[in-house]
Amino acid sequence: MDTATHRIFQFLPIDTICDDKAVIIASDDSYHLGMLSSRVHVTWALGQKSRLGQGDDPVYVKSKCFDPFPFPDPPEALKAQIREAAEELDARRKRQQSEHPGLTLTQIYNVPEKLRAGQSVMAVMLGLEPGI
């Protein structure tokens, strides 16, 4: 199980060692990355009602969220577009992290919410609270 605000999928080097809460999906097809990163999969995963803790936080349980997920089988032209978008997403996130050492994927995904709350982009990237 993985408890996190955001379900973030990414390509990692084959020699990456993950902790016991990470869900590892062995695929080099960026179509899978695209589908797992899509609103469709987020909606599906949240709909599986796996929750944990006092905050009733959503939990990604592989046997409930990934295994039964009905991966669509669109025409090859659409799969190619999904692959391209997924590769661009993965590259953009990695580029931001390389340009801003210490920036986590969670921080990247928290930016829109924190900007709506009135924080500056720099404060978000530095992990500062409003008013600091």
Instruction: Please work out, in degrees rounded to the nearest 5, the angle formed at the alpha carbon of residue 64 by the alpha carbons of 63 and 69.
Output: 100
pTM for this model (two decimals):
0.75
The answer on 129 and 90 residing in a single domain is no
Q: Does residue 40 sit in the same domain as residue 87?
A: yes
Q: What is the rounded CA–CA span in Å between residue 43 and residue 49? A: 11
Q: Strand, coil or helix: what is 18? A: coil
Q: Are residues 82 and 115 both part of a single domain?
A: no
Q: Are residues 29 and 89 in the same domain?
A: yes
Query: In terms of residue numbers, what domain contains 64?
Result: 2-99
How many domains is the chain built from?
A: 2
Q: How many helices (H) and strands (E) does the chain have?
A: 6, 3
Q: For residue 118, is it left (φ>0), alpha (ψ between -120 and 50) or beta?
A: left
Give the pLDDT confidence of 49-80 residue by residue, as tens digits.
777 766 677 888 888 889 999 999 999 999 99
Using one digit for the tens of pLDDT, what is the confidence trace for 1-53? Answer: 445 567 788 888 888 888 777 778 888 899 999 999 999 998 998 888 777 76
